[in-house]
Structure 1
Amino acid sequence: MHRLAIALLLIGGAGTAQAAGIRCDGGLVDRGDLQIEVLDACGEPDFRDDWAAGSLPAGVVAPDVTQWTYNFGRGNLLYILRFRNGRVIGIDNDGYGFDADNTSEDCGPTDIVPGMTKYRLLSACGSPAQRDSRVVLRSSRHFRYGVAEQIRRETWIYNFGSRRLLRKVILENGRVVRIDTDNRGFD
């Protein structure tokens, strides 16, 4: 039996909802918990995504971020936990989970939509034919005071065959933000 999760408190958000904590078979997980405590309570995540800081301008220090996804199956919420320095800094839910064994291998261009998480994209369409990743800084309204947001931007290329155009999928911090077309695909 896969782990059972129950949201304790949900706060509305765009695309995902922030959860105050989750309950797994092994106990409660909340912000501030260590990765080892999460592993003890919930077991291994279904998906791990490490966001290395990469190369940034001189003097800019950006911590590594790790994101774990727990898919508790159909009828239960799918949770995304973000870690910085080995501690939970955020817990979001990404709608309902799904049976990972029953994912479709018949992914088409219209199955990729903005807002989709990296885990859902990989589960639906598999690995891309090509990928590129970089860390960029996006200025905020406080940029003149030295505040900028670190963004992990990935470009994934999917080839759906010679009858379709290649799809260039742009992900930021593990979520699809844009889908472009490119040259004709190939078999």
Structure 2
Amino acid sequence: MRTFAASALFCLLALMHAGGASAQSLSCGGTLSGVGDSKFSVVQKCGEPMSKEFVCVPRPQVAWVLSPYPGGPAQQVVTQQCVPMEDWVYHRGQGNFLGIVRFYNGAVESVRDGEKMR
């Protein structure tokens, strides 16, 4: 059972790490905004977004639960927790993809492409 829990934890951590590997930057007038930039910095470089939306992003959380039996070992439990984040959408012009900047705790967590504007 412990091997299964350790394997599950390893897989979850690997998936979380892989999600950040696809991060990119948002190019605004010759400057780049990317992971770690503050909201203020993004507004200074790119201006106000065309829309802002608060989102709840499910993230796995690992917790230890004490055994209900005296002397029993603690058990690992993996749950999904809602992590509040904010998505800002930038219009990059006709024929380009929308730029979606996700903020967590006031800093850029990720940048990704949205729909292609026609």
Give the TM-score taking structure 1 as reference length: 0.36
Asked whether the equivalents of residues 23 and 35 of structure 2 are also in contact (C-alpha less than 8 Å), the reply is no
- Check 1:20–1:52 CA distance in 2 against 1; reply closer, same or farther (3 A cut): closer
Q: Separation in 2 of the partners of 1:61 and 1:19?
A: 22
Q: Give the one of 50, 70, 88 matched to 1:46.
A: 50
**Residues 19 and 73 (structure 1), Cα distance of their counterparts in 2 relative to 1, 3 Å cut:** farther
* Counterpart in the other structure of 2:35: 31
**Secondary structure of residue in 1 paired with 2:93:** coil
Instruction: Report what 1:66 is aligned to.
Output: 86
Structure-2 residue corresponding to 1:82: 102
Contact 2:36 2:108 in 1 (8 A): yes
d(CA) in 1 for partners of 2:44, 2:52: 16
Q: Deviations over 1:85-113 (max 9, x none)?
A: 00111111014224xxxxxxxxxxxxxxx
The size of the alignment, in residue pairs, is 75
> What runs of 5+ residues in structure 1 fail to find an aligned partner?
1-17, 54-59, 99-187
Q: Distance in 2 between matches of 1:71 and 1:61?
A: 31
Q: Secondary structure at the match of 1:64?
A: strand
Pairwise CA distance, 1:23: 1.2
Q: Structure 2, unaligned stretches of length 5 or more?
A: 1-21, 58-79
Q: Given residue 114 of structure 2, which amino acid in structure 1 is its aligned partner?
A: D
**Partner Cα separation in structure 2 for residue 19 and residue 85 of structure 1:** 17
Q: Which has the higher helix share?
A: 2
Tell me the percent identity: 31
Aligned residue for 2:114?
94
Which structure's CA Rg is the greater one?
Answer: 2
Deviations 1:132-174 (A, max 9, x none): xxxxxxxxxxxxxxxxxxxxxxxxxxxxxxxxxxxxxxxxxxx
> Take 1:26 and 1:87, find their aligned partners in 2: how far apart are those partners?
21
Structure with bigger RCO (C-alpha 8 Å, 6+ apart): 2
